[in-house]
Amino acid sequence: MWLRQAKTHQINARDPKAWTQRNDISAPVLDISAGEMYDYVIVGAGPSGLCAAKTIRECEPDARVKILDSNKTVGGVWSKEKIYPGLKTNNIRGGIDFSDFPMHDGFGVPAGQHVSGEAMHQYIRAYAEQCGLLSLIDFESHVAEVSKLKDIRGWNVKLRAGTEIHTRKLIVATGVTNAPNRPQLSGLEEFGGPIMHSAELGMQGTALTDNAKVETVAVLGGGKSAYDSVHLAGKAGKKVEWIIRKSGKGPEWVFPAHTMGPLQAVREKLPARRIVSFFSPNLWNDGFGWIRHFLHFTRIGKTIAQKFWINLHKATLEDCGMRKDERTKVLEPEQSPFWYGTASGIYSYEKDIYDMVKTGQVRVHREDIAQLSDHTITFRSGVAIKADALVTATGFSAKPTVNFLPETSHSALGVPSSTYTTSQHQFWDALNAKADATIGASFPRLLAGPFKSPTSNVIQPFNQGMDREANYTPFRLYRAIAPPGLAQAGDLSLAFVSMFSNLANTPRMELQCLWAYAYLNDALTLRPDPATVFDETALLAQYARHRAPYGHGRFFPDLVFDQVPYMDSLLQDLGLPYWRKANIFAELFSPYMAPDYRGVVQEWLRANGGGNQRVDGAATTTNRDVKIAMDEEGQPLLKANGKTH
């Protein structure tokens, strides 16, 4: 990392027994006599899980692989049961493809158009068929809990049906859009009409669109899923009462697919250009540190960077057109796109939502809900509106979909938790303080956070989120993939993929899957350093929090303008070239898309002598020649800041 180092306090060494109790990574319970043993189990059959399985099979053809998924069909958020008419991707065709499986005309999507939900499902299914993955999937398999095996390194995966599956290595690829976040609203039982989350529109949406008794639909939320819900109801001819919380973060950015003006460009490709990433704060070394130093540490450079973001904000407002009519101004986001991460979307609708607002078919309310009653929603202001149905477009829960046991292991595993002990909170608080000092030494503006308005110098108070979601810790994973406690202890048996959000999701996902495979097989060129793995993990989590406070950075890395340098870091760890363009001009100005990473798995295999062999048997207590210290109870001693705890 190229950040300036801040002078901070050292994290005091702690008693080993107390540390083990705080961050329990012991192998608690089970022997392996009761269930099958796989080489790899993957939880999730969405794009990330399929990509992980394909990567494993490409690197290790004889591996025993099992994919578990709770849905009835393949695709994750694009499974058959979760799509509905009018649903489209934010990306246009070519922007969401797997690098080795380009979308073609046979899927019914013309070049330059957004991909429908149905086409996306068919595309993902075709990918699974092409790669021979469908036979590996157990559908309608709900994971109840996961715990470590006894006497052998690996994991026990217990399904809700009671079945137990054992695996040497586990990849969690459920993503971050899995479990709906259902707001706690008073009077839900008295409302009397259909109530559903926007994620359930694929299965329950006809209760709105095809129900003659539903004349008015209320939609709660200000994000892209709220736009989608409003469009679905409005297109069906329903009146819509659109409620955006007054106490929340307001509407999110929903952009036209192309920038306006004489030099039109596909909007999703703008942050995929390396030169655009220079204007953003950044944790990673991409070889252009001198440019970044100029833009972020010199007076002239800072002025240029500031002008860039001011002009981007102004141009984006003009492109969106919300200020062109008094009735649509209420949908203008509060802050510059700089602060939103991927809490945004592309305006890809068949019926113009802004026109529906102008005609009165859609009414927008900036209000907080006080109470629901019989077909009535009462706001805290005292105003009441009538509605026959309610859609809560309130995002997804911060609670992880996989329940790891014991709960005392959550801190070391880096999974979101509401059960940290006091000492675990103190441990991470100390790491967070050190990370904030490092970030502040390079990018003090990030620590200040958004202002109340573009013309104000008053800081906008940080919004913790809704209800119980604020109680969960964020994902804290090394490189957003590896559990820091296990990585430090040399236990390379667990990885997470796509606990992350960015615009170039598919290239990032493919690189994460390859990184995860290399990590699980101790084959990274640049391996996690046991002395600093917790420090680097905390730095990424805190950076994400400060970088996208109006997005999802509170819960997981949420990158847009800094996505290319992050992918560079994965390639560096893999020992592969990260400048992948033909010349310096293309390197700076040509967007990084899926074709730039085509064949990266074979490229890595060639660089590593053609493949990787799995080592059977019990795991060792060494990792890349680094001796792992053990306490008198045989537990690995975790370290932070180079000191044993």
Q: What is the pLDDT of residues 478-488, one digit of tens each?
A: 999 999 999 99
pLDDT tens for 287-306 read 999 999 999 999 999 999 99
Beta bridge partners of 626: 623
Q: Is the model's pLDDT at 607 over the cut of 90?
A: yes
pLDDT at 468: 53
Q: What is the mean pLDDT of the chain?
A: 86
User: What's the residue count for the chain?
Assistant: 645
77-81, 320-324, 571-575: the lowest-pLDDT one: 320-324
Q: How confident is the model at residue 369 (pLDDT cuts 50, 70, 90)?
A: very high
| 189 Cα distance to chain centroid | 33
Report the pLDDT value the prediction gives residue 626, as an integer from 0 to 100: 30
User: How far, in Å, CA of 391 to CA of 223, rounded?
Assistant: 13
- Residues with Cβ within 8 Å of 88's Cβ and at least 6 positions away in sequence, in order, are 114, 115, 116, 117, 348
Coil/strand/helix, residue 420: coil
* Position 348 pLDDT exceeds 90: no
pLDDT given for residue 523 in this prediction = 97
Q: What integer pLDDT is reported at residue 633 of this predicted model? A: 35
Q: What's the predicted TM-score (pTM) here?
A: 0.87
What average pLDDT does this structure show over 82-109? 91
Comparison of pLDDT for 532 and 20, the residue scoring more: 532
Select the highest-mean-pLDDT range: 116-130, 394-408, 602-616.
Answer: 116-130
Each residue of 452-498: pLDDT tens digit?
Answer: 554 544 555 444 444 555 688 999 999 999 999 999 999 999 999 99
pLDDT band at 614 (very low <50, low <70, confident <90, very high): very low
* Residue % of the chain over a pLDDT of 70: 85
More confident site: 347 or 126: 126
User: Which domains does the chain carry?
Assistant: 188-392 (3.50.50.60)
Section 221-235 average pLDDT: 95
> Cα–Cα distance between 388 and 336 in angstroms, integer?
35
Q: Is residue 20 very low, low, confident or very high in pLDDT (cuts 50, 70, 90)?
A: very low
Q: Which residues contact 429 (CB under 8 A, 6 or more apart)?
A: none
Instruction: Tell me 4's DSSP state.
Output: P
- The residue-averaged pLDDT of 24-51 equals 74
**Structure confidence at residue 383 (pLDDT):** 97
Q: Which pLDDT does position 514 carry in this prediction?
A: 99
The rounded distance, in Å, linking the Cα atoms of 494 and 294 is: 40
Averaged pLDDT, 377-395: 96
Please give the residue that has the higher pLDDT: either 244 or 348. 244
Query: 21: Cβ–Cβ under 8 A, 6 or more apart, which residues?
Result: 408, 421, 423
Among the ranges given (29-38, 67-76, 239-248, 542-551), the one the predictor scored with the smallest mean pLDDT: 29-38
Residue from 172, 41, 126, 211 nearest 482 by CA:
172
Residue 100 has pLDDT above 80, yes or no: yes
- The secondary structure of 154-223 as a DSSP string is -EEEEETTS-EEEEEEEEE---SSSSB-----TTGGGS-S-EEEGGGHHHHTHHHHT-TT--EEEEE-SS
What CA–CA distance (Å, rounded) separates 175 from 44? 8
Residue 21 has pLDDT above 60, yes or no: no
